Structures are given as C-alpha cells and as structure tokens.
Chain A
Amino acid sequence: MNSGENRSTTVQSIAINLLTRVLEVRELMLIVIIIIGGTAMSITTPIFFSSSNFKAILLGLSVEAIIAAGMTILLVSGGLDMSVGSTMALSGIISCIAIKFGIPVFFSVSLGILSGTLVGFINGIIIAHWLINPFIVTLGMLSIVRGLVLILANGVTIINLPESFTILGQGKLFGLQFPIILMFFVIISGDILLRRSRFFRQNYYIGSNEKAAILTGIKVKKVKIINYMLTSTLAGIAGILMAARMASASVNIGTGLELKVITASVIGGASLSGGEGSIAGAFLGALLMGTLINSMNILGIDVYWQNVITGIILITAVILDNVMKRRRESASQ
C-alpha cells in the first residue's frame, strides 16, 4: 500500500520533471506538438500519413527553412532582415534573365546568388557602420529590391527555362528533391556552427549586450556584416531553387516571405531582442507551420484562413514564451 503510493508519487514526479523539461527546451516542445498533431491528423485522414505527403510538406517549407537559418543568426545577434523575400525574387529573375541571354547556367546561377550577397552587404554596411536600425534599413531594401525586380523583368514572368536549370529544383537524390536535401544540409550544418563554433557563438554575445561585446574585443561590425551577407546569400540560393522548381521566374515570388521566416525563427525560440535562438528550433518552427497548413489544405479549410492562423500561432508562441520566462523568473526570485 505504502510502497505503491510511493511509486505512484515518484512516477508522478518523473512525469512532472519530464513535462517541465519539455516546456523549457523549445525544440523538445515543438517536436512533441508536431508528433501529437501529426498523429491526430493521421487518425482523421489517411492521406496525411503518406511519404508523398511528407515530402510535399518538406518541399513546401524548404525555401523558408533555408532562409530561416540565416534569419535566426541575425535575430540572435539582435538584427533582423525584412528584405529576404525581395532578394529571393531578385536572384531568381537575374539568373533567368542571364540564362535567356545565353550565359551558361552555372554562371547565371552564380550571378543570381551573388546579387543576393550584394544586397546583404549593403544592408550590413548601412546597419553596422552607420548604426541605423535594421528594421528600417531592410524595410527600405525590401521595397528597393522588389522595385528592381519589376524593372528588370518588365513586370512579366520568365518561362521556358532549360532543363539544365530546372533540374536544380526538380531533380532528386535518394528519392528526395534537391531543395529538401539542401535544406537539411543548411539546417544541420548551420545548427552545429551556431551552437559550437567560436565565430558564430559571438552572435550570442552581441545580441545579449552589444556594448560589452565591443569592449571584449569581438569584431561586432564584421560579424554583423557577415550575418547580413549570409542571410541574403541563403535567400539568393532559395530564389534559384524556387525558380528552378517552378520552371519560371515570377516577379511576385517571395512576397510576404519575411514574415513567415521570422515567425518560424521566433516559434523556434529566437527573440526579437536578441541573445536567444537556435537553427534547429527555427526548422521545427517552419515544420510546425508547414504541417499545419498542409493539414488545413487536406481538411479543406479556406486558404485565406491560413494567414489568420499563422498570425495566431506567432502571437501564441511569443505569449507562451513570455509566460514561461516570467514563471521561471518568479520561481527563481
């Protein structure tokens, strides 16, 4: 009797410990939510639980997740990039125009990606050297780059692209499309670098106290400029993948993408005030949203509702984060 009671209390305390741990480690919490949601969906509709549907989900979020890797690093360092959606379109358009001019695919693609890098360089210089607020700078850049895209493409969508280009978005390896493979590569290597490498860890110092980071001899400007270049380069790569997958370069591609990417990072544990976040978390954030949207499609929920729900998830994630933090602080105060 007595020992039975004891056992049930230890089981209970283990369960409570597990629960607090899951709630504290953001990545664990997201995995649990995704598994629960996925199981529920699998029970309701058989279409959901199939490898082709899973691949569709991953392909759908690959572009977002690749850019989210860079965005998370920026958020950790206290920065932000609103111009990623436009940059993505720019790189797609530039490489496709180059291809149409007869420039070999390899060089066309490089040109597209470099145009992205250049956007990031300009963002970085203005933000790091002239100390202008990153939100304002990249918001301006969002508009400038989108304008350039419209000018370059003359407002029309470029189609009829050679297979040597479209294969970049449509080709497969081990039964998975290239964008998915590249996404896993970026996420895994990015997560390891941000967790363990000296260079990338400097971002946590910059994000948690920039003045102190300067005083400890961290090359704050250099790190910031590299962050913006990295994020824009990833956006450029994502733009190429998208154009290749669609076999067309459209001027509207990537509109509103910045919000989705930031949402993924924030759900994954990044904070807009800097100093926190992980790339694995950002991927899980994107996966959560991707799964949810996929489920809504399967269940036949109106597309317009999807925006509403994405917004609700973002706000919920931030509120939850705040509540948890305050609880932890009051528990420790």
Chain B
Amino acid sequence: MDNNEMLRVSGISKSFPGVKALDCVDFSLRKAEIHALVGENGAGKSTLMNILSGVIPQDEGKLVIDQKIQKFNGPLDAVKAGIGIVFQELSLIQNLSVAENLFAGRQKTNFAGFIDFRNLYARTRELLSAFSESIDPRTPVKNLSIAKQQVVEILKAVSHNPKILILDEPTSSLTHKEIDKLFRLLEEMKTNGISIIYISHHIQEIFRIADRVTVLRDGKYIATRNVAEIDEPEVVSLMVGRKITHNHINRDSSIDRNTPVLQVRNFSHKKYFSDINFEVFKGEIVSMAGLVGAGRTEIARAIFGLLKPSHGTLLINGKKITPNSPVEAIAGGIAYATENRKSDGLFLDMTISENSIAPQLINFTHRRTDFLDQHKIDSFVENTIRTYGIRTSTAQAETRKLSGGNQQKVLLSMWLGVAPKVLIVDEPTKGVDIGAKNEIFSILRHLADTGTAILVISSDLLEIIAISDRVLVVKNGRISGEMPHQEITEKRVIAYASGIASNNS
C-alpha cells in the first residue's frame, strides 16, 4: 500500500440507457499531486468526477479516500470527505451576489438570525484577493462576464478547504491572464498538501501544471504516465487510439480583398466599446483576441442586434443595415453562436434533432404548408451527427444528457448549418476535444472558402493562431492591434492585449 495515496478508485462502472459511460475504471491520486485527466468528448471524465463528488452513484466499484472506504449518498457526503469540485458547467445562482454565492448556506448570522453582511463581504474580499480579483462582493453574478463567473466558481470550491480539489475544464472560458493566476493558486495549494484532479482539453496546460496524467477512452482506463516522461503527441494518441493528422489549413487563397462582406464603422457604446472599425472580407477568417472584459462579446452582440450601439454603422455587402433584434440580423445574413451554451445557446430539455434545426425551422417545412417535414429533419440531423462526430445513441436524445463537448458541437452545428453571409462564433471550441477541434477548424475554413465572412472570438491563443487570416486585438473596448497571420505569435497578441505594445507606437 502506498501511504502517499490520497484517493484510490477501483473497478468503477456506470451505465446510462444506451451507453456504458465508465467501464471498470481505476484511478489513483497521491497527496500533494496535480493529476490531469484527459480523454475525448464523452470519454467519461465528467461522469467519473460526478461519482467522486457524490452527485451520482456508481453501478459498481469502490472509492478509497485517505485509506478509508467511502460510500456517498449525496454531494454533502463528498464535501464531508474533503472533496471540492468545480463543475464543467457554471452552476452559480444568477440573481444572488458574489458573496452569497461563495458562502451559500454558510453565512455567519448574528444573534437574531440575520446574515452578518459586513463579515460576509469581508470574507469574500479576502477570498477574492487570493486570486487578485477586484470584484465587488455585492455584484449580482449575472452581471459578471463568464470568465469572472468561472473564477468565482473556482474560489467557491477552494473556500471549502478541500483535501481533494477537482477542476472539470476550468480554463475553457479563461484568458491567459486568469489561467496564469489559476495555475499559481493551484501550485500554492499543492505545496500546502492538497491533491488536485485537473481535466482539460488543452494538452499543453497539462505539461505546465500536472505531475501525472491519466487517459480515458470510451469509458475505459487506458494509461497513467508521469508528465515528465511523455510528450504531447503521445498523450493525444493514447486519447484517440490512433494518430491525429493535422489538417493542413491553407489560407489566403480564397480571400477576396476587394469585397468586404462585413464592415463595422465607428461603432461605439457608452459602456462597452468605442471607435470600433474593421471589416471582414469575403472568404476571410478574422479573430478577435483580448482579455476578459475587453468588450469582444459585446461588439459581437451589437452586430447581432442584441445591444444597441450609441453610434456607428454596419454594412453587409456594402449595404447599410441597423439590426434591432436577432430576427433582423439573421434576415440580414448574420449568424451568431453564443459563448454560453447553457444559458442562451441550447434548448437543453429538447432533443439533439430539435436543437440542430432551431435557427432555420422555416427550411424544414413541407413545400406548401407550415407543417414540419420529419424526413427532411431526420436526414439533416443524421448528417449533422456524422459530420461533427456527436457521440450519442440517437438523435432523439435530450441535449442535456450529452457530455459538455458534445453539447458544444450541437450548438455550433446549429449555426454552421445556416450558411450565412457573416458568421460570428464566440469561443467556438470551448470544451471540444482535439480531434473535433480540427474538424471544426476545417468546417470553418470550408465555409470561408465558399464565401462566408467569419469572425471568431476566442480566448485560446493557439486556436487563434491556427485558424485566423488576421487578428484584431481588443483592449478596453478599443482595437489596440491588428496583424496578418504571418505575424501572429502568442507574444505579440499578449503584448497588444495587455497594452505593452500598441499600433501607433
């Protein structure tokens, strides 16, 4: 017996109707270790973490924590056993303040049973400062950007002082700055003897932070390795069970620099951005990089008619349009895939099939009536599932039951299927595995080649480098830098985003 062992999972199995999500999986975690868990979308990572945190029971298998066999009857048992978890999907209560979310159910009360808010806010500030965050504890969570919400979510788990901290894709909506802070925090926790399970689709992060890595594939345990003794291609080939060929993306060939499809002129908004000027040419993929809160999503939402700019004009194919709502924007040829699939992207209680046709119901009716044509829908959806490699037993499955990455694929498929003039995708590959990521890149490229102008908002610099013909860096609501793809490097983007470099200097 390894005395240094914090957690041992042996022979865990879990089935859902139609899928064996986990098949006799073993896993072990040492004291003061950062252990990465990787695998393709639907490999069973979140399911295993749900079992470890008492959210769902296992069908078979046993959990040993700190040399004691544990049987969880609910999440509270797991908390008591010292397990803290940051779930893949945000789970904060939107209308409550940051402080109330962080200390939900643990607020100190005074003699009359009222919440002692002074104490609550003080403790919140202290916690936030551990992450050098300057969020007002009283802000309602719904007013925070997704990245800040993610930070609050992480701090909430940390505030319970867990012995084991589980992070299920914590960086999928963070920019490099928050990621750096997160990694510093994790290192510090590790030196304090805390064990960490870290799930991510960004393989390079594993090499920065983890000591060991365990790979799952199709619900089965594949291997555990020391990070020092393995390289990126090897991790990937363990994950997918075959060699991944990087699609060669050829750029520039189809860009028509005489035909701007989207032109944004002097776009300004009282609160979020000012003097935004740019265009996207026919066949071009332009990315917007920047820090959290730089205003990129807001610019996209303004183009899509969700936010009214205080002034500025928008031209599609040279014609001025002023969309006041998504309906008008879509009619004008603009499509927008949101960054938040759970809150305003997907219809989680509806089927994959119903989701994938949502933005274009009108194209699925019988020719002369308003009745939906089930045959048309079925063949479209079948094709979608195949193209995007959505892992499901049937198109009639509720979207909620899909793994996070597979949900993201459904969201993207909704909008890529529309073939608009201008496509805006906000964090398109959030939570998507490497294989599917390449697939999505080549679909985006294909769309661009067939004439769509594409605007990508991404926090993932490697993604930006891989896909963009041109990058715009946004800082504090202004475009602070622009570079063609030959000149894009991580360093330069970061320099512009943080204000070290600027175009006019």
Asked whether any CB of chain B lies closer than 8 Å to the CB of A320, the reply is no
The docked-state distance in angstroms from the alpha carbon of A214 to that of B330 is 11
A202 touching B361 by the CB < 8 A rule? yes
Closest 3 CB pairs of A and B: A211-B344, A217-B330, A216-B359
Contacts of A215 in B (CB 8 A): 304, 306, 326, 336, 338, 344-345
Asked whether any CB of chain A lies closer than 8 Å to the CB of B349, the reply is yes
Asked whether any CB of chain B lies closer than 8 Å to the CB of A201, the reply is yes
Which residues in window 209-267 of A have CB below 8 A to B? 209, 211-219
Contacts of B264 in A (CB 8 A): none
The docked-state distance in angstroms from the alpha carbon of A201 to that of B372 is 9
The docked-state distance in angstroms from the alpha carbon of A219 to that of B371 is 18
A275 touching B350 by the CB < 8 A rule? yes
A197 touching B17 by the CB < 8 A rule? no
Task: Give how many B residues have a beta carbon under 8 Å from the other chain's beta carbons.
Answer: 36
Interface bits B313-345 vs A (CB < 8 Å: 1, else 0): 000000000000111011100001010000111
Q: Is the interface of A mostly helix, strand, loop or mixed?
A: helix
Could you list 18 further interchain pairs (A-B, Cβ under 8 angstroms) beyond the known A201-B372, A275-B349? A196-B371, A198-B364, A198-B365, A198-B372, A208-B348, A208-B350, A209-B344, A212-B344, A212-B347, A214-B325, A214-B344, A215-B344, A215-B345, A217-B326, A217-B327, A275-B350, A333-B50, A333-B55
B370 touching A208 by the CB < 8 A rule? no
Contacts of B358 in A (CB 8 A): 205, 212-213, 216, 218
B308 to chain A, nearest CB (A): 15
Which residues in window 345-398 of B have CB below 8 A to A? 345-350, 354, 358-359, 361-362, 364-365, 369-372
Asked whether any CB of chain A lies closer than 8 Å to the CB of B447, the reply is no
A251 to chain B, nearest CB (A): 40
B344 touching A198 by the CB < 8 A rule? no
A216 touching B343 by the CB < 8 A rule? no
A198 touching B362 by the CB < 8 A rule? yes
Which residues in window 136-151 of B have CB below 8 A to A? none
B372 touching A209 by the CB < 8 A rule? no
B317 to chain A, nearest CB (A): 19
B327 touching A209 by the CB < 8 A rule? no
Contacts of A204 in B (CB 8 A): 347, 350, 354
B56 touching A333 by the CB < 8 A rule? yes
Contacts of B414 in A (CB 8 A): 216
**A211's closest neighbor in chain B, by CB?**
B344
A201 to chain B, nearest CB (A): 7
Asked whether any CB of chain B lies closer than 8 Å to the CB of A1, the reply is no
B17 touching A198 by the CB < 8 A rule? no
A212 touching B370 by the CB < 8 A rule? no
B236 to chain A, nearest CB (A): 30
Contacts of B350 in A (CB 8 A): 204-205, 208, 275
| Size class of the contact patch on chain A | 20 to 34
Contacts of B338 in A (CB 8 A): 212, 215
Asked whether any CB of chain A lies closer than 8 Å to the CB of B16, the reply is yes
Asked whether any CB of chain B lies closer than 8 Å to the CB of A199, the reply is yes
Asked whether any CB of chain A lies closer than 8 Å to the CB of B401, the reply is yes
Contacts of B326 in A (CB 8 A): 214-217
Contacts of A216 in B (CB 8 A): 326, 358-359, 414
Asked whether any CB of chain B lies closer than 8 Å to the CB of A312, the reply is no
Given contacts A197-B370, A204-B354, contact A219 B327 (CB under 8 A): yes
B330 to chain A, nearest CB (A): 4
Contacts of A202 in B (CB 8 A): 361
B374 to chain A, nearest CB (A): 8
**A196's closest neighbor in chain B, by CB?**
B371
The docked-state distance in angstroms from the alpha carbon of A196 to that of B326 is 25
The docked-state distance in angstroms from the alpha carbon of A214 to that of B327 is 8
A contact set with B: CB distance below 8 Å: 196-199, 201-202, 204-205, 208-209, 211-219, 275-276, 331-333
Contacts of B347 in A (CB 8 A): 204-205, 208-209, 212-213, 275
Question: Given B325, B349, B370, which contacts A198 in the complex, CB threshold below 8 Å?
Answer: B370
B346 touching A209 by the CB < 8 A rule? yes
A199 touching B344 by the CB < 8 A rule? no
**A209's closest neighbor in chain B, by CB?**
B347
**A199's closest neighbor in chain B, by CB?**
B370
Contacts of B349 in A (CB 8 A): 208, 275-276
Task: Select the residue from A201, A208, A209, A275 with max chain B CB neighbours within 10 A.
Answer: A209
Given contacts A197-B370, A197-B371, contact A217 B354 (CB under 8 A): no
Contacts of A214 in B (CB 8 A): 325-326, 344
Contacts of B329 in A (CB 8 A): 217
**B340's closest neighbor in chain A, by CB?**
A211
Contacts of B371 in A (CB 8 A): 196-198
B411 to chain A, nearest CB (A): 9
A196 touching B372 by the CB < 8 A rule? yes
The docked-state distance in angstroms from the alpha carbon of A333 to that of B362 is 35
The docked-state distance in angstroms from the alpha carbon of A268 to that of B372 is 24
26 A-B residue pairings within 8 Å (CB atoms): A197-B370, A198-B364, A198-B370, A198-B371, A201-B361, A202-B361, A204-B350, A208-B350, A212-B347, A212-B358, A213-B347, A213-B358, A214-B325, A215-B306, A215-B326, A215-B336, A215-B344, A215-B345, A219-B327, A275-B347, A275-B349, A275-B350, A331-B17, A332-B17, A332-B401, A333-B56
**A192's closest neighbor in chain B, by CB?**
B371
A252 to chain B, nearest CB (A): 40
A333 to chain B, nearest CB (A): 5
The docked-state distance in angstroms from the alpha carbon of A333 to that of B57 is 8
Which residues in window 224-270 of B have CB below 8 A to A? none
B334 to chain A, nearest CB (A): 10
**B17's closest neighbor in chain A, by CB?**
A332
A79 to chain B, nearest CB (A): 17
A218 to chain B, nearest CB (A): 8
Contacts of B372 in A (CB 8 A): 196-198, 201
A101 to chain B, nearest CB (A): 40
